Amino acid sequence: MAPPSKPRRATVHDVAAAAGISRGTVSRVLNGGYVSAEARAAIEAAIAQVGYVPNTAARNLVMRRSQAVGFLALEPHSLLLDDPNIGAIMLGANEVLSVADHQMVNLVVDSARDTERVARYLSGGFVDGAIIVSARTHDPITRVIAELGLPATFVGHPPDLHRSIPFVGIDNVGSARAITTRLAATGRRHLAMIAAALDRDSGADRLTGFREALGDRFDPRLVAEVPLYDYASGVKGMRELLAREPRIDGVFAASDAVAAGALEVLRDAGRTAPADVGVVGFDDSTWALRTQPPLSTVHQPAREIGRNAAELVLRQLRGEEPAPGNVLLPTPIVWRDSA
Amino acid sequence: MAPPSKPRRATVHDVAAAAGISRGTVSRVLNGGYVSAEARAAIEAAIAQVGYVPNTAARNLVMRRSQAVGFLALEPHSLLLDDPNIGAIMLGANEVLSVADHQMVNLVVDSARDTERVARYLSGGFVDGAIIVSARTHDPITRVIAELGLPATFVGHPPDLHRSIPFVGIDNVGSARAITTRLAATGRRHLAMIAAALDRDSGADRLTGFREALGDRFDPRLVAEVPLYDYASGVKGMRELLAREPRIDGVFAASDAVAAGALEVLRDAGRTAPADVGVVGFDDSTWALRTQPPLSTVHQPAREIGRNAAELVLRQLRGEEPAPGNVLLPTPIVWRDSA
């Protein structure tokens, strides 16, 4: 028996016939040449009708698709060097985009100059969509994405302005409440928090969870506010807390890197964890296994967050109906030896 | 007195007149439309002659410039999470590209699928140039860049194949020799090395420097070979070395992350640095200040390396003659408390 014949692949002739336009004009369009908007629309319709698959570059020109998706972390650049989570989110996003044959392009935003230029780049058709970590309401990039209607996903709760853009996140309030409750259950009496990044929803939410867990026992004097989720902020915060209240016997650090800094200060002060002070972190990043002792912490599924963010962008690019909603991922507590 | 009049800005009319081509045709070209190669060449010459500055998008189409430069680290993706140097090189490169109004786009290469797609992306006119960290001879990406003649810079010694592409690097042999000599001078008798990434020139060169510094005292049994410059490799390598020779009293780790892993193993084995064992690293990355005690190490000027790599790409884009040569940056030893 003869093998089933391969379906004949549609050609430029088929497109031209279906569109009622000369083959020369169709070729010109496929090569990026100028043509009237009407003719372009007819050709695009004909391409869909006959199932013509042009080569990628030509298709990109016609469809105005770049097959690229931008990845932006609107965090201080120093975190790129200090926060393993952003890298893990990025690799997760890349896994999904790669399988869908989309190129992920990471755009560094490290200055006002970068912000302007990246906003222009996003408007310039170089990417079909974007994933934005730590979007902020008044950031020009967030505004540009909303104004363009660029298919996008936020990682972390979005600013209120842009409710139409879906987000992937975790329940920071609930997670912080859970680990604080667990820390309190070890019998600690003087619980403190090193609260970082209070200008972000994640930072503000973690403080809310800590406060809710303690209820009447909450003592605002035992909260040290620090700017970033990094090691240096942990050192600074822990020093402040020890100066204010030497009897502290439990610390919730807003990230694992912050907890690592806090542990060093405690060690220098001759206090051991968990015997003298129980310390818990947040993230379950590579930091958590490097500290002495290893950290009890909240597991943040960074790679899964990245994967989901990419899926949400791809679903928008495919024009799925209904438009995709938000995704909240679970955050189990991982109890190790630091508390 | 009237202020000096602003020089009149050249217009499309001026370009058309200088090229001897109708204004309509010139406009069509500026809008990305089709035109003969001869006409395009005449228009480009006229643009240069009259000093016409079209808007960026139009200029990009005519000049075939994207104003973007790719940044690729051909390292195992896990290092993105573990090696602060790559981030620092990237931020250094971005600083220089940003001032020159070029968009840096970071392309993750994390699988064979990524390799193919990134190679296509680089060929597709999306970037004008590229910075490649840890290029390898047989990597398809290195080959594509060489074949395209894309303006590029390697960070680290280049594979032999592509001598025409300049590189920015450090003297790994000399640096390793210098810090090994300094470690030996503290009176250590049993010097070991955790040698990482021997399939890279940087890894192989650091081992060469160690061997050269020790001369007749070099003992191949005291070299543990590990795959990566990361913390887990340091743990693995130090365990092997202690099992082979418990009298080891000095260790040269091929990176700071490797040294951090080694220090943890020594601590678990009840041996303190620097009293029992002197440990030195390489990089002077953020790891070096986080270990207990802080690391004596070789300072690798990561941000400067990134800045220089970007400069070399920009000089190629400007067509500078003679073509830029290689850059070797100095690597001072930073002596802290671990040896």
The reply to whether B106 and B148 lie within a common domain is: yes
Q: If 0-12 CB within 10 Å is exposed, 13-18 middle and 19+ buried, where does residue B161 land?
A: middle
**Residues written for chain B:** 339
Which of B72, B86, B108 to probe by mutation at the A interface, max A CB count within 10 Å?
B108
The reply to whether B75 and B155 lie within a common domain is: yes
Return the CATH number at B194: 3.40.50.2300
CA of A332 to nearest chain B CA: how many angstroms apart? Answer: 22
- List all residues 6 or more positions away from A38 whose beta carbon is below 8 Å from its beta carbon: none
The answer to whether the CB atoms of A117 and B98 lie below 8 A apart is: yes
Number of cross-chain residue pairs from A and B with Cβ atoms under 8 Å apart: 109
The reply to whether B47 and B191 lie within a common domain is: no
The answer to whether the CB atoms of A80 and B91 lie below 8 A apart is: yes
The answer to whether the CB atoms of A126 and B124 lie below 8 A apart is: no
Q: Which residue, among B135, B141, B88, has the nearest Cα to B307 in the 3D structure?
A: B88
Beta-carbon count within 10 A of A263 CB: 26
**β-pair type (A68-73, A333-334):** unpaired
The reply to whether A109 and A222 lie within a common domain is: no
Q: If 0-12 CB within 10 Å is exposed, 13-18 middle and 19+ buried, where does residue A96 land?
A: buried
Domain assignment present for residue B41? The answer is yes
Range of the domain at A83: 68-169+303-329
The reply to whether A128 and A159 lie within a common domain is: yes
Return the CATH number at A39: 1.10.260
Q: What is the mean pLDDT of chain A?
A: 87
Domain assignment present for residue B245? The answer is yes
Which of B66, B102, B104 to probe by mutation at the A interface, max A CB count within 10 Å?
B104
Among A88, A90, A231, the residue with its CB nearest the CB of B108 is: A90
Domain assignment present for residue A236? The answer is yes
The answer to whether the CB atoms of A103 and B84 lie below 8 A apart is: no
Domain assignment present for residue B201? The answer is yes
pLDDT reported for residue B75: 76
CB B135 within 8 A of CB B291: no
Query: In total, how many domains does chain A have?
Result: 3
- Under DSSP, is residue B65 helix (H, G, I), strand (E, B) or coil? coil
CB B331 within 8 A of CB B299: yes
The answer to whether the CB atoms of A106 and B105 lie below 8 A apart is: yes
Q: What is the mean pLDDT of chain B?
A: 87
| Chain A residue numbers touching B33 (CB-CB < 8 A) | 33-34
Domain assignment present for residue B177? The answer is yes
Give the tens place of pLDDT for each residue, B4-20.
443 456 777 888 889 88
The reply to whether B266 and B322 lie within a common domain is: no
CA of A235 to nearest chain B CA: how many angstroms apart? Answer: 11
Domain assignment present for residue B46? The answer is yes
The answer to whether the CB atoms of A108 and B94 lie below 8 A apart is: yes
The reply to whether B136 and B224 lie within a common domain is: no
Residue B95 has phi, psi (to 5 degrees) of -55, -50
| Chain B residue numbers touching A234 (CB-CB < 8 A) | none
Nearest CA in chain A to B66: A126
pLDDT tens, residue order, chain A (339 aa): 444 443 456 777 888 889 888 888 887 776 655 677 788 788 878 877 887 755 444 444 445 578 999 999 887 766 666 677 888 899 999 999 999 999 999 998 888 889 989 998 988 888 999 999 987 767 888 888 888 889 999 998 766 656 688 999 999 999 999 999 999 999 999 999 999 999 888 899 999 999 999 999 999 999 999 998 988 999 999 999 999 999 999 999 999 999 999 999 999 999 999 999 999 999 998 889 888 899 999 999 999 999 999 999 999 999 888 888 899 999 999 999 999
Give the tens place of pLDDT for each residue, B229-256.
988 999 999 999 999 999 999 999 999 9
Domain assignment present for residue B115? The answer is yes
pLDDT reported for residue A4: 40
Rounded CA separation B264/B194 (Å):
14
Give the tens place of pLDDT for each residue, B132-181.
998 776 788 888 888 888 999 999 876 665 668 899 999 999 999 999 99
Give the rounded distance of the alpha carbon of A162 from its chain centre: 16
Among A91, A111, A126, the residue with its CB nearest the CB of B110 is: A91
The reply to whether A164 and A176 lie within a common domain is: no
The reply to whether A177 and A257 lie within a common domain is: yes
CA of B126 to nearest chain A CA: how many angstroms apart? Answer: 8
Beta-carbon count within 10 A of B181 CB: 15
Which of B30, B81, B123, B284 to probe by mutation at the A interface, max A CB count within 10 Å?
B81
Give the tens place of pLDDT for each residue, A200-223.
888 999 999 999 999 999 999 999
Rounded CA separation A259/A239 (Å):
12
Please report the sign of the dihedral spanned by the C-alpha atoms of residue A131, residue A137, residue A138, residue A143: positive
DSSP annotation string for A87-126: HHHHHHHHHHHHHTT-EEEEE---SHHHHHHHHHHHHTTS
Among B66, B113, B292, the residue with its CB nearest the CB of A98 is: B113
| Identity of the amino acid at A252 | F
Among A32, A87, A111, the residue with its CB nearest the CB of B98 is: A111
The reply to whether B72 and B181 lie within a common domain is: no
Nearest CA in chain B to A34: B33
Rounded CA separation B328/B326 (Å):
7
Give the tens place of pLDDT for each residue, B57-67.
444 444 557 89
In the β-sheet with A278-280, what is the strand arrangement from edge to edge? Answer: A223-226, A191-196, A250-253, A278-280
**Residues written for chain A:** 339
Among B82, B98, B290, the residue with its CB nearest the CB of A231 is: B290
| Identity of the amino acid at B20 | G
The reply to whether A144 and A110 lie within a common domain is: yes
The reply to whether B79 and B166 lie within a common domain is: yes
DSSP annotation string for A155-171: ESSPPGGGTTS-EEEE-
Residues B119-142 have a mean pLDDT of 86
DSSP annotation string for A34-72: ---HHHHHHHHHHHHHHT----HHHHHHHHT--SEEEEE
The answer to whether the CB atoms of B110 and A95 lie below 8 A apart is: yes
- List all residues 6 or more positions away from A152 whose beta carbon is below 8 Å from its beta carbon: A129, A130, A131, A132, A145, A165, A313, A316
Domain assignment present for residue B30? The answer is yes
Rounded CA separation A171/A157 (Å):
9
CA of B297 to nearest chain A CA: how many angstroms apart? Answer: 19
